[in-house]
Structure 1
Amino acid sequence: MSLINKLVPLGIPLAWLNLVKEKKRFFAAVAGIIFAVTMMLYQMGLKTAMFTQVVFPHLMLNGDIVIVNPQYEYFGISRGFTEKRLNQAFALPEVEDVAPLYLVNLPIKNPDTLVNRDIFIIGFDPANKPFDDPAIEAQQGMLKIPGNALFDERSHAKFGPIVERLEDGTVTTETNGRATEIVGSFEMGTTFAADGNLLVGKQTFFEIFPGQDPNLAAVGLIMLKEGSDAEKVAETLRAKLPHDVKIMTRAEFIDNEKRYWGERTPIGFVISASMTVAIIVGAVIVYQILYTDVTDHLEEYATLKSIGFKDSYFISLILQESIILSVFGFIPGAALTAGLYYVTRRVAYMPTEFQWDNAGIVLGLTIVMCMLAGALATRKLRHANPADIF
C-alpha cells in the first residue's frame, strides 16, 4: 500500500483535487486569504497593544482610588484640582496615605543633537510612594535634590542615547531651559500622549514649570489600608467631597483611559474599519475563486445531480474547499503578522505581541468568511436544471 493510501485510505478528497487542478487560481485564493488574515490579526494586535500601551502609567500607580478634575479626559491633560481634597480624603479611617501627581509635557534637550523634544513629565513628592515599582522606589530618594530626574528607558530614541550614557554616570541636559541631571532610569513605556517619560521631584517640577499653581494636582492617589473596600470608600468620598472633583476606583481610572482612546479618538474606528475591509476583500476573492470553480465544473456537477446526488453534497463539497482555503491562508498569514508585530515593536515602540486568543478569533472569522463565500458560490448550481445545462 502506498504512503498516500495509508494517509488517505478513502482517497484524496474531491475538494482538494478541484482546488489544485488550477494552481494559479488556488494560489490567488490563498493570497487573498493571507491578506485578509494578516489585516485582521494585525489590526487586532494593534488594538490590544493600544489598550495596553495607553495604561502603562496607570498600571504602575500605587493608588486604590483616584481623584481628578471633573473635566479630566486622559492621563496627560487635566485642569487640576485643589490638593485640599486629598487632605480631606486622608481624614477617612480607611485611608493609609495620599499622593498628588503633577503632569505636563515640556521640551527636553537631546544631549547629542541639542534639539528640544517634548517629553511627558510626572512630578511627585519623593517622600510619598505613588509608584508600585521597585526600581522607582529604590531611586526616588535622589529626586529630593533639585534638578535631578529619572528617565524612562523605553522612551523614543529621538531623546538621545541617555540610557547608554547613564552607564558611565549621570547625564546633564536641559528641561524647558532649566538644567536637569538625569541620575537614574526606570521602565514605563510610551503612550499615544507621550513619546517618553521623565520623573522629577515636586520642587524640581515647579522649577522647570514655574507657571503651574503649586496648590493644584493633576491626579490624586489614595492608598487604602489593607482590607478596605475601594468601591465603598469611593462612594463615601463622592458623598463627602464637593463636586469640584471626580472620584474613581483604580479599575474605573484604567477603563476611562481605554474608553477615551477607543471611543473619543479616530483610532478605534480606524482599526474596526480596517478589519471590516479585510473581511470584505477576503470574502470577495474567495467567492470569485469558488464561483469560477463551480462554473468550470458545472457539467460534471450536473451529471452527478442527474444521477441522484443532492444539493447538500455539492454544498458540502464547496464548504470543504472553503475550509481548505481557510487553513492554507491562515498559517502563512499568521506568520506574516508575527513578523509585522516584531517590526512594529522595533519601530513604533508598541507592545504588539502574538496572542493565541486573537489568532483563534481570526481563524474562526476566516472560516466563516470562506464558508459564506462558498455557500453563495453554490447558488447557481443549486438552482440549475441538469437538462438545461446539457
Structure 2
Amino acid sequence: MTESATVAKPAKRSGKKRRKRLGVVRTSLAWSNLSHMWIRTVVSICGIGFAILLMFMQLGFLGSVGDTATVLLDRMPCDLLVRSPDYLHIYDASKTRNELRPWLKSIDEVDEAVPLDIGVTQWINPNNQDPRAIAVMGIDLNAPAFDLPELTLEMRRKLLVEGAVLVDDATKPDFGPQNGVKFGPEDIGTVADVFGTPAKIVGTFHLGTGLAANGALLCTRETFRKLVPGSSDEEVSLLLIRLTQGVTRERGCQMVAGRLDSLAGPASSATALTIDDAKTAERWRWYTETPIGMIFAMGVVLAVVVGGVISYMILASDVQAHLSEYATLKAMGYGTGFLMKTLLTQSTLLATIAFPPSVLAALLLYAITSALAGVPIRMTFTWLVLVAALSLLMCNAAGLIAIRKLIRAEPANLF
C-alpha cells in the first residue's frame, strides 16, 4: 500500500456508470502493495515459486514411479493377463501352471495364450567381476510376449543358441558396458557370468528397466531356465491372453475367469484380469505399498506444507509492514470482507505470478534429472492443474491466517 494511494470513505453501492459519471477511480490496493515495494515482491515471488517448484519435483518423481511400474506391461500386445494369486509385482510374479495354456486356448473367445517367464538373478560385471541383480525375461520366439522391433527373424535365430541373450540398452553402466556408459553394438559377443552360467550378448533391445530392476536381459524360455534358479518348463510367470477379433476385454475376462474357476487342482490356482486393470494395480501398488512411492507421496504433502509456511511468512510480514494503513481503513469503516478480499487478491496475484517461472524451472530440472538418473520424468496436464490449484489454496489459506490478528483487533490498538 503506497502513501500516495488515496483512500475514499466507503459509499453506498452504485453501478459502473454512476462511478464513471462522478469521476471515481477505484485503486487496487492489492496491486499497489505489490508494485510499491518491488524488491520485497520479487523476494516473495521467489519464495512462493520455490514452494511451487518443490511440489512439481515431488509430483514428477511420484509420476515416474507410476510410469516405470508399467514399462513392461505397456509393451505387451495382449488383452488379458493370467497370473498367480501370489503375484506381487512384475519382477516378482510368482508362478502358475503352464498346463493352463491348452485349456485357455480352447475357449472360443481366446485367440492365443502366450507364456512369459520373469525372474531376477545375479549378473557378474565382465569388467570388474562385481555382482549385480538383473531381471531376466524368457519368451517364446514363435509368439513373443513383447512388441519389440529388435526381434527380427535374424535376431530370433541368434537367440536359439543356448545361452544367447539380448541386453536392454537402458541397463545401468555399473553392469559393465564396454564404453562405460551404455550397452551397444560394441558389447555384442561379450560373454558374462549369469548365476554361474555363461551368457553371450548377441544384441540389444530398448524396453526400459524401471525402479525395481537396474538391468534386464531377454532370452528364450530354454535359456531362462538355465539362468534363473528354480525355474521349470511346467511353470510360467504370466500368460498373456490375446482375444479373438470383436470380443471385448470384459467379455473375454469373464470367460477366462469362468474357465479358471471350473478347473480343479493346482491348475485352477490363477486369476485373470484385463491389461488395463493390471497396469492400474501395478501403479497403485508402487504408489501405496512401496517405500519409494510413499516417500514421494509424503513429499508432495510436505511441499504443500512448506509452501504454506513460506506464503504465511511472506503475507504476515506484509500485513505487519502495512498495519497502520490497514488500521486506517478499518477505522474509516471498511469491514472485514474488504480487508480479506484485499489480502486474498494479493496472495492470488503472488501465486499467479510465481507459477509460470516455476513451470519453466520444473521442465528444466525434469530434463536434467531424467538424463542423469535414467528415469523418465515428464510434465503432465494433470500436474499443471493440480499444482496450480494447490498453489492458490496454500497462498489463500496463508493469507487468511495472516490477517486473523488484524480482523480481531480494535483500530485504536493497531497504531
Q: Give me the TM-score of the superposition, normalised by structure 2.
A: 0.84
**CA-to-aligned-CA distance 1:224-283 (integer Å, 9 cap, x gap):** 221122222222222222341111111122122112212222233222221222112221
Code of the aligned partner of 1:323: T
Give the Cα–Cα distance (whole angstroms) in 1 for the partners of residues 170 and 92 of structure 2: 21
Asked if 1:206 corresponds to 2:218, the answer is no
Code of the aligned partner of 1:66: L
Q: Are the equivalent residues in 2 in contact too, given 1:33–1:282 (CA < 8 A)?
A: yes
Q: CA deviation at 1:55?
A: 0.5
In the other structure, the counterpart of 1:3 is: none
In the other structure, the counterpart of 1:4 is: none
Q: Which of the residues 360, 363, 373 maps onto 1:335?
A: 360
In the other structure, the counterpart of 2:306 is: 281
Asked if 1:313 corresponds to 2:338, the answer is yes
Q: Are the equivalent residues in 2 in contact too, given 1:37–1:333 (CA < 8 A)?
A: yes
**CA-to-aligned-CA distance 1:143-166 (integer Å, 9 cap, x gap):** 222121111111212122265551
Q: Does the C-alpha gap of structure 1 residues 165 and 258 become closer, same or farther in structure 2, counting only changes over 3 Å?
A: closer
Q: Which of the residues 352, 359, 363 maps onto 2:384?
A: 359
Q: Are the equivalent residues in 2 in contact too, given 1:62–1:129 (CA < 8 A)?
A: no
In the other structure, the counterpart of 2:238 is: 219
In the other structure, the counterpart of 1:32 is: 47
Give the Cα–Cα distance (whole angstroms) in 2 for the partners of residues 210 and 105 of structure 1: 9
Q: Which of the residues 270, 285, 307 maps onto 2:295?
A: 270
In the other structure, the counterpart of 2:6 is: none
Code of the aligned partner of 2:259: K
Within 5 Å, give how 1:15-26 maps onto structure 2. Answer: 15-19=30-34, 21=36, 25-26=40-41
Give the Cα–Cα distance (whole angstroms) in 1 for the partners of residues 245 and 406 of structure 2: 70
In the other structure, the counterpart of 1:113 is: 128
Asked if 1:71 corresponds to 2:86, the answer is yes
Give the Cα–Cα distance (whole angstroms) in 2 for the partners of residues 22 and 377 of structure 1: 19
Q: CA deviation at 1:333?
A: 2.6
Q: Which of the residues 165, 168, 177 maps onto 1:149?
A: 165
Asked if 1:158 corresponds to 2:174, the answer is yes
Q: Are the equivalent residues in 2 in contact too, given 1:35–1:278 (CA < 8 A)?
A: no
**RMSD of Structure 2 on Structure 1 (CA):** 2.3
Give the Cα–Cα distance (whole angstroms) in 2 for the partners of residues 337 and 187 of structure 1: 27
Give the Cα–Cα distance (whole angstroms) in 2 for the partners of residues 260 and 381 of structure 1: 47
Structure 2 gap ranges (5+): 1-24
Q: CA deviation at 1:89?
A: 0.3
In the other structure, the counterpart of 1:6 is: none
Q: Are the equivalent residues in 1 in contact too, given 2:121–2:229 (CA < 8 A)?
A: no
Say which SS state the counterpart of residue 357 (structure 1) adopts. helix
Q: Does the C-alpha gap of structure 1 residues 168 and 201 become closer, same or farther in structure 2, counting only changes over 3 Å?
A: closer
Asked if 1:197 corresponds to 2:216, the answer is yes
Give the Cα–Cα distance (whole angstroms) in 2 for the partners of residues 117 and 210 of structure 1: 15
Q: Does the C-alpha gap of structure 1 residues 166 and 174 become closer, same or farther in structure 2, counting only changes over 3 Å?
A: farther
In the other structure, the counterpart of 1:174 is: 193
Say which SS state the counterpart of residue 134 (structure 1) adopts. coil
Asked if 1:376 corresponds to 2:392, the answer is no
Structure 1 gap ranges (5+): 1-9
**CA-to-aligned-CA distance 1:35-56 (integer Å, 9 cap, x gap):** 3212211111112111111100
Q: Are the equivalent residues in 1 in contact too, given 2:111–2:242 (CA < 8 A)?
A: yes
In the other structure, the counterpart of 1:252 is: 277
Q: Does the C-alpha gap of structure 1 residues 207 and 380 become closer, same or farther in structure 2, counting only changes over 3 Å?
A: closer
Q: Are the equivalent residues in 1 in contact too, given 2:184–2:204 (CA < 8 A)?
A: no
Give the Cα–Cα distance (whole angstroms) in 1 for the partners of residues 329 and 225 of structure 2: 84
Q: Does the C-alpha gap of structure 1 residues 12 and 172 become closer, same or farther in structure 2, counting only changes over 3 Å?
A: farther
Code of the aligned partner of 1:299: S
Code of the aligned partner of 1:87: P
Q: CA deviation at 1:195?
A: 0.7
Give the Cα–Cα distance (whole angstroms) in 2 for the partners of residues 80 and 120 of structure 1: 16
Q: Which of the residues 68, 71, 74 maps onto 1:59?
A: 74
Give the Cα–Cα distance (whole angstroms) in 1 for the partners of residues 163 and 193 of structure 2: 9
Q: Are the equivalent residues in 1 in contact too, given 2:168–2:183 (CA < 8 A)?
A: no
Give the Cα–Cα distance (whole angstroms) in 2 for the partners of residues 279 and 269 of structure 1: 16
Code of the aligned partner of 1:246: T
Code of the aligned partner of 2:142: A
Q: Are the equivalent residues in 2 in contact too, given 1:129–1:137 (CA < 8 A)?
A: no
Asked if 1:297 corresponds to 2:322, the answer is yes
Code of the aligned partner of 1:200: C
Q: Does the C-alpha gap of structure 1 residues 54 and 160 become closer, same or farther in structure 2, counting only changes over 3 Å?
A: same
Q: Which of the residues 3, 7, 14 maps onto 2:29?
A: 14
Code of the aligned partner of 1:108: W
Asked if 1:344 corresponds to 2:369, the answer is yes
Q: Are the equivalent residues in 2 in contact too, given 1:120–1:198 (CA < 8 A)?
A: yes
Moved more, 10-19 or 151-160: 10-19
Q: Give me the TM-score of the superposition, normalised by structure 1.
A: 0.89
